[in-house]
Amino acid sequence: MYSGRGERGLRRRIIAGNWKMNKTVDEAVTLIADLKGLVKDATDVEIVVSPPFTALGAVREALRGSNIELAAQNMHWENEGAFTGEVSPRMLRNLGCMYVILGHSERRTYFGETDEGVNKKVKSALLNGLLPIICVGETLKEREEGKTEEVVTRQTKAALDGIKTNEAERIVIAYEPVWAIGTGRTASADEANRVIRIIRSTVAEVFNSRIADEVRIQYGGSVKPGNARELFGQSDIDGALVGGASLNASDFAAIVKA
């Protein structure tokens, strides 16, 4: 069973910016130009940006020589075929993406993504050499009904179903309470850490305690320069998935530095 120690030494913090459906190509390149200089000395943290598909190619060029990695916000699980409007893992790898965000609550809510679909995408991402950032989190209603633990455990187990132990350490999980996304409401640092420990225990159950100690679990939901330090001071929070604040170079850089 998972010891619950949360051995920080094994886990490098990861701060990822989810730009959502924001920024034209020109705006994206300008944001990267501003950000690169601000975070160039940050060596003990992994920095990731996730522009919309349309800007991935230009951002890849703008990131050359920097310490910032590229992520996509979604993908299909198939590599090619008759799936109008979709983008495949193979295309993302070819574009230079290292990470892909999967199962974001906006995808689950507005585009009908299911636990099963997220699992297919996780498997396909790993198969294609992409590192998945898997989002899990409860809605306000689920929290009020006392179902937080049940929901994050179900989503985590479903996403990891059938993943081999030797692939598991490449996974990042983001705990994103849906009621905290884009609302300005953050889970308290203690509460975020408590839920993340539940997710870590679930990872131990699915794999083993070594993997649970190694898998990085971020918090996401209205992370700002003002609350980042307290969140990152928690034993089990290994960074953040940042939405709104990642659209501004100085705010995102301040979170990286926190």
Q: Does 52 bind ligand PEP (CB under 6 A)?
A: no
- 16 versus 39: smaller Cβ distance to ligand PEP: 16
- 51 versus 220: smaller Cβ distance to ligand PEP: 220
Q: Residue of minimal CB distance from ligand PEP? A: 243
Structure tokens at 206: 């699915």
Q: Least distance to ligand PEP from the beta carbon of 114, Å?
A: 19
Q: Least distance to ligand PEP from the beta carbon of 99, Å?
A: 13
Query: 197: closest CA among 177, 178, 228, 175?
Result: 175
Structure tokens at 202: 């679930």
Q: Least distance to ligand PEP from the beta carbon of 208, Å?
A: 29
Convert residues 227-256 into a mask of x (bound to ligand PEP by CB under 6 A) and - (unbound): --------------xxxxx-----------
Q: Least distance to ligand PEP from the beta carbon of 106, Å?
A: 7
Q: Does 176 bind ligand PEP (CB under 6 A)?
A: yes
Q: Which of 46, 104, 113, 142 is catalytic?
A: 104
Q: Does 221 bind ligand PEP (CB under 6 A)?
A: yes
Say how many residues touch ligand PEP, by CB under 6 A.
13
Q: Does 48 bind ligand PEP (CB under 6 A)?
A: no
Q: Quote the CA–CA distance of 108 and 228 in Å, as a whole number.
A: 26
Return the axis-axis angle of helices 25-39 and 249-257, rounded to nearest 10°.
30
* 104 assigned to active site: yes
Q: Quote the CA–CA distance of 210 and 203 in Å, as a whole number.
A: 10
Q: Quote the CA–CA distance of 175 and 221 in Å, as a whole number.
A: 9
Phi, psi dihedrals of residue 236, rounded to the nearest 5°? -115, 0
State the residue for tokens 């928690």.
234
* Strands 68-72 and 45-50, bridge-based pairing: parallel
- 52 versus 221: smaller Cβ distance to ligand PEP: 221
Neighbours of 44 (CB within 10 A): 6
Convert residues 131-170 into a mask of x (bound to ligand PEP by CB under 6 A) and - (unbound): ----------------------------------------
Q: Does 202 bind ligand PEP (CB under 6 A)?
A: no
Q: What secondary structure letter does DSSP report for 130?
A: P
- 37 versus 182: smaller Cβ distance to ligand PEP: 182
Q: Quote the CA–CA distance of 227 and 186 in Å, as a whole number.
A: 8
Q: Does 258 bind ligand PEP (CB under 6 A)?
A: no
> In this structure, which amino acid lies at residue 215?
V
Structure tokens at 251: 């705010």
- 103 versus 117: smaller Cβ distance to ligand PEP: 103
Q: Quote the CA–CA distance of 88 and 128 in Å, as a whole number.
A: 10
* Binding stretches for ligand PEP (CB under 6 A): 18, 176, 181-182, 220-223, 241-245
Catalytic residues: 104, 176
